[in-house]
Amino acid sequence: MDEKIFDIFFREKPAMMLVNLKNGKDATYASYLAKSVDCTYSHVVKILQKMQEHELVVFEKHGRLKLLRLTKKGRDVAEHIEAAKQILNG
Per-residue pLDDT at 39 exceeds 90: yes
Per-residue pLDDT at 10 exceeds 70: no
Average pLDDT score over residue span 50-79: 94
Mean pLDDT of the chain: 87
Domain boundaries, the chain: 3-88
Sequence-separated (6 or more) residues with CB below 8 Å from residue 67:
27, 28, 29, 59, 60, 61
Question: At 73, is the pLDDT very low, low, confident or very high (cuts 50, 70, 90)?
Answer: very high
Confidence at residue 1, expressed as pLDDT on a 0 to 100 scale: 47
Contact 41, 5 (CB under 8 A): no
DSSP code per residue over 19-51: HHHHHSSS-B-HHHHHHHTT--HHHHHHHHHHH
- CATH assignment of 3-88? 1.10.10.10
Q: pTM, whole model, 2 decimals?
A: 0.82
The residue type found at 18 is L
